[in-house]
Amino acid sequence: MRNFVGYPYRARLDEIKKKRVKKGQVLFRSKPFCYILEYGCQAQFCENCLVNIKDHSLPLTCKCGRTRYCSENCRQVGQVIHFRECQVFQRRPNFKPKNLTMFMARIIWKLNAGGYEISEKIDEKRSRRFRDLESHIPDIKKDPSRREILINLRHELRQLVGPNMLPSNPELVAIYGRVCINMFALLDDQFDSIGLALYLAPSIMDHSCCPNAFVSFQGKQIVVRSLVDHDNFNWNKVRITYIDQLNLNSSRREQLLKNYYFLCDCPFCKDDHRARMQSSINCGNPACENGIFIDLDVDDDQPLEPCHQCGFSDLSADVRSTYRGVITFTKDTLNGMSESDPCPDMVSDILDMQGELLHPLNAWRAKTLDAFLTAALARSCWTVALRTMRQNQEAVKWYYGSDHPNYGLFLVRMGRAELFMTEHKAAVDHLYMAQDILEVGVGSAHPAMHAEASNLLIRASGEMVADMKRADFKFHLQRDKDMKNKLGSSKTEGTVPEFG
């Protein structure tokens, strides 16, 4: 039997000799304790190094035909992890367990091969093993949805790992809990999810909706960078975000409680004004840009508060019921669509129904425009994409923060659209902003920087210079033409032209 303990695996924590940490500094570089590619990504990425192999004419495959490798070396290394499941799939070619089942199976195999003894260094005083990860066993046992998942999971695992290697019920619950609470979505160079991964040392990082650190990936290696300066660095102060920040405060807290069994108390979640703006409509005063909060927890016939900025109060009596209907339709329609490939016609219907009612910072307005942008970019509708991004730019900046890498990625997309639409000056401005943000969040070596922002900036700058030269040429051409006309006119009239 192959020994997973002997497999070269070790996290490298960048040494922080001083307690002072600068923004952009790498805090963690860690290889996964376990990882897996999602089924839909196995044909596109190398199973070992996760390089995109869609351009490889003859990618190597394993005996079961389900995984791909970019080289013979990657196939040999990858077989250390894949060989057990490969044998099962060769015997049962139609057996397709869920991604979570595959992930759990790999963890069980690794733990049975000595994985419980693997530790990962955090600093000079602390390290983490698999048993050190938070499991929330009491919460898992009380959660009906996760109890049902465990029942189905156990059935599939029995077929995959076999009854002899299947853990006891208490141990399976503990393993499942540690996986659910601590696993990361594995992201590719475009920040799209392609799999699942579990890391030991990085699991120390807690959540905040206004994080001070950012997670990116180099293949399957996780890289964590600080987004702020720390004068007195402490690991207990490092915060990443577990969920998307583009949401209502109440929805984020509900999601965290459901999936991670805690309530966030970060500054964003405690900001009452912020929560009110996320559920607001436009003020009826055309000169006022403030939003008016609509509380959906009260009856529709209850009076609305006046605008806190201008005092406007002449709102329709049925505005709350109208708002409730719009939000219900928006929520149901968006939740019924694929996030990665939303239907543009359905999203357009939502926007038509919203009209001018929702404030630009309303969470459901921002989420709808974000879905419309995804649909437009997927279909290369650059005019629509650029218009949508300009409508949603302030909201994206407001929800993520002006220095957050997600806003930087948004600016890269905007710059690309502006470059395509020949708005070169605007593209240069936005790409410079994106470059500064992403330099801190992902570093200069990340493809989002050198293959996206930097290359687009070079192209946009070149086009802008060409635009300036063309404009200068047109100016001189027109000036010469005007001068000739002036000389011809003065010659006819017998007068001397005035210069200057």
Q: Do 251 and 278 sit in the same domain of this protein?
A: no
Q: Name the 3-class secondary structure at 289.
A: coil
Q: Which of 235, 260, 285 is the last residue of a domain?
A: 260
Q: Do 204 and 348 sit in the same domain of this protein?
A: no
Q: Do 77 and 184 sit in the same domain of this protein?
A: yes
> In this predicted model, what pLDDT tens digit does every residue of 173-228 receive, in sequence order?
999 999 999 999 999 998 999 999 999 999 999 999 999 999 999 999 999 999 99
Assigned domain for 343 exists = yes
pLDDT at 343 over 80: yes
Q: Residue 406: phi, psi to the nearest 5? A: -65, -35
Q: Which of 344, 378, 412 is the last residue of a domain?
A: 378
pLDDT band per the 50, 70, 90 thresholds, residue 495: low
Q: What is the mean pLDDT of residues 471-486?
A: 66
> In this predicted model, what pLDDT tens digit does every residue of 232-242 receive, in sequence order?
999 999 999 99
pLDDT score, position 395: 98
Q: Do 217 and 312 sit in the same domain of this protein?
A: no
The per-residue b/e assignment along 433-459, b for 16 or more CB within 10 angstroms, e otherwise, is bbbebbbbbbbeebebbeebbbebbeb
Distances (CA, A) of 21 to 233, 404, 405, 472, 495: 6, 18, 18, 48, 75
Q: Do 371 and 240 sit in the same domain of this protein?
A: no
Q: Name the 3-class secondary structure at 128.
A: strand
Q: What is the mean pLDDT of residues 342-357?
A: 97
Nearest alpha carbon to residue 354 among 346, 343, 362, 365: 365
Q: Which CATH number goes with the domain that contains 56?
A: 3.90.1410
C-alpha 57: how far from its chain's center?
Answer: 30
Q: Do 10 and 90 sit in the same domain of this protein?
A: yes
Assigned domain for 389 exists = no
Q: Do 97 and 116 sit in the same domain of this protein?
A: yes
Q: Do 320 and 216 sit in the same domain of this protein?
A: no
Q: Do 196 and 106 sit in the same domain of this protein?
A: yes
Please count the structural domains in the chain. 2
| Long-range CB contacts for residues 348-353, cutoff 8 Å, separation at least 24 | 348/372, 353/326, 353/329
Q: Which two tokens stand for residue 329?
A: 């339709």
Residue whose token pair is 């650029």: 386
Assigned domain for 30 exists = yes
Most confident of 2-11, 208-217, 445-454: 208-217
Structural domain span for residue 148: 4-260
